[in-house]
Structure 1
Amino acid sequence: MNIAMDGSGSGQETPDEKQQLHARGRAGRRKGKALSRNDTGGSEEVSLNAMGRLYKKIIGASVVTRYLMGAEVPADSLGDEFKGYIFRITGGNDKQGFPMKQGVMLPYRTRLLLSDGHSCYRPRRTGERKRKSVRGCIVGQDLSVLALSIVKQGEAELPGLTDVVHPKRLGPKRATKIRKFFGLTKDDDVRKYVIRREVQPKGEGKKAYTKAPRIQRLVTPQRLQHKRHRLALKRRQSEKVKDEANEYAQILAKRVAEKKAEKADARKRRASSMRK
């Protein structure tokens, strides 16, 4: 369950404001870290975004600028409704939209050479590397979005976040996971515990029916028979290969002996002809 802190923004910009934003963006690209280093406001309006619902809060500089990504933060300073909650910082974006990257120990943006497997980068071609701007993992006032996950739930429920339970649509499909889910042993029949779901047909007047997933990796007598059959075929093939190899070796030895005998007879005939 993720909560995201989202900075407040005005709905539509005037042409002058758009021109100023473009100029600031160009300056930020030229100077790199200048925008994020110089942005040191005292307080900032932040909204907690969870599943499309916004919770606006005013937080001061001392509340958020002490932590790194992955740190567990007590949320008491955000308000009474968050009393007792503990959040883990999972990421964020600065005001220009650049994402925070774990392991970059900086409170501002930097440019890193990234390749396949790195976060904050999706390669378009195989083996491609590219230098991208990323935000460091130290939380600062230049952030507009801060993503959090709940580690410990507090006293009060958060509307739309902790007071709603969204059940899983599908149950486990693999046999071992069904056993683990229901605490079964190997002797229990897994097929009796498959979670079925109800399907409502689109047409009017049609009765609803239930569907069950096909259990994967289920050990049945037919599967054991197939395994025995495969092993028997494998043994039969190996025995056939051994017999053919022995037969070939016997034929080869016989041909070699015949060749040796022919050569010996030829030598004897030549020797007898030379004596005459």
Structure 2
Amino acid sequence: MLKEAPGQRLKTLAGLADQRSLMNSILAVQMTEAKTDEEGNKASSFSWRLGGGRLLQDEATGCQKLIEVDDERKLRTFYEKRMATEVAADALGEEWKGYVVRISGGNDKQGFPMKQGVLTHGRVRLLLSKGHSCYRPRRTGERKRKSVRGCIVDADLSVLNLVIVKKGEKDIPGLTDTTVPRRLGPKRASRIRKLFNLSKEDDVRQYVVRKPLNKEGKKPRTKAPKIQRLVTPRVLQHKRRRIALKKQRTKKNKEEAAEYAKLLAKRMKEAKEKRQEQIAKRRRLSSLRASTSKSESSQK
């Protein structure tokens, strides 16, 4: 069996690490894009790979863009900053003048995600459960110890996710100059009212955003979501019934409590009378014994 030289083995391991970090970076970008598409393009993002790029998103237009940055001096503005910190992006170039971005996350060179609240540069292993970021439970009540990276930005990141908070003077091609329409409209009644500035008297059902379903060789039709929290006569009737049943229960409980109190008072009175009779009987017996003993002593 041939033995590798120590230097050759180190080079091989370094090459494997570079390949893994590159694959993890690509995977992180793909996951971010898929997540944004699932959420209905709520935010447009851009991202940088540190020593590589950043994934940027603009909430106003719903666009995302991956930007490669090779000059590390441009990225020093973001070093030692935490997640959710707003940073001026002027150092990135002239086209970014006036822009303000918010750090929303990132991945290190091994693909481990940044977690808010972990105040360190490195990695830690945390016991995570349902509701925590960086973990999706596969079973009910499952907890798992996962490796996550701290929320402080440093040079060991491969991807940094940023959200545009304030737009600058110039447009960024592919990020702020185009608008991606939302895939789905609002479903909740109060949000539909807020979107179209409706009052409580207006009928929300006429303002539902319908989704077109066009198939080849079939009639074009549209599909509307079921409106949640919609106040209808049936809902009001159910509410009135619930209130009436609650009043009936309250009245019944009061009557039963009054009957119980009455019965309890009666039983307590009976017990008191019985106790008094027993005491009187004992007194009579004791007085009878005393008189009998006196008569016997006088006869002697």
Same fold, judged at TM 0.5 (above): yes
| Greater share of residues in helix | 2
2:237 paired with 1:225: yes
Superposed displacement of residue 218, structure 1: 2.0
TM-score, normalization by structure 2: 0.59
User: Deviation at 1:175?
Assistant: 1.6
Give the match for residue 198 of structure 1: 212
| CA spacing shift, 1:19–1:158, aligned 2, 3 Å | same
Supply the AA of the counterpart residue of 1:63. Answer: K
Aligned counterpart, 1:19:
13
Larger Cα Rg: Structure 1 or Structure 2? 2
Residue 137 of structure 1, aligned match among 152, 157, 165: 152
Does the 8 A contact of 1:100 with 1:136 survive in 2? yes
Distance 2:281 2:106 in 1: 98
Letter in 2 for 1:168: R
User: Is the alpha carbon distance of 1:177 and 1:60 closer, same or farther for their aligned partners in structure 2, counting shifts above 3 Å?
Assistant: same
The match for 1:245 among 242, 257, 266 is 257
Greater Cα shift, 209-218 or 81-90: 81-90
* Identical amino acids, percent of aligned pairs: 44
Map of 2:184 onto structure 1:
170
Shift of 1:180: 0.9
For 1:193 and 1:179, locate their aligned partners in 2 and report how far apart those are by CA, in whole Å.
Answer: 9
Contact 1:115 1:123 in 2 (8 A): no
Measured in 2, the distance between the counterparts of 1:127 and 1:263 equals 63
Distance in 1 (alpha carbons) for counterparts of 2:65 and 2:272: 95
Instruction: Give the one of 77, 88, 96 matched to 1:66.
Output: 77
Deviation at 1:122, TM superposition (A): 6.8
1:82, CA displacement in angstroms?
5.0
Q: 1:75 to 1:87 in 2, by over 3 A?
A: farther
Query: Displacement of 1:181 after TM fit?
Result: 0.8
Show structure 2 runs of 5+ residues with no match. Answer: 1-7, 19-49, 57-62, 293-300
The normalised TM-score by structure 1 is 0.63
Whether contact under 8 Å (1:178, 1:190) holds in the other structure is yes
> Aligned-pair RMSD on alpha carbons?
4.3
Partner of 1:31: none
Q: Distance in 1 between matches of 2:242 and 2:86?
A: 54
Using the TM superposition, give the Cα deviation of residue 182 of structure 1 relative to its aligned residue in structure 2, in angstroms. 0.8
- Give the Cα–Cα distance (whole angstroms) in 2 for the partners of residues 171 and 23 of structure 1: 44
CA contact (8 A) 1:81 1:158 kept: no
Post-superposition CA distance 1:130-165 (Å, at most 9, x none): 58463562443x443232222325524413x33442
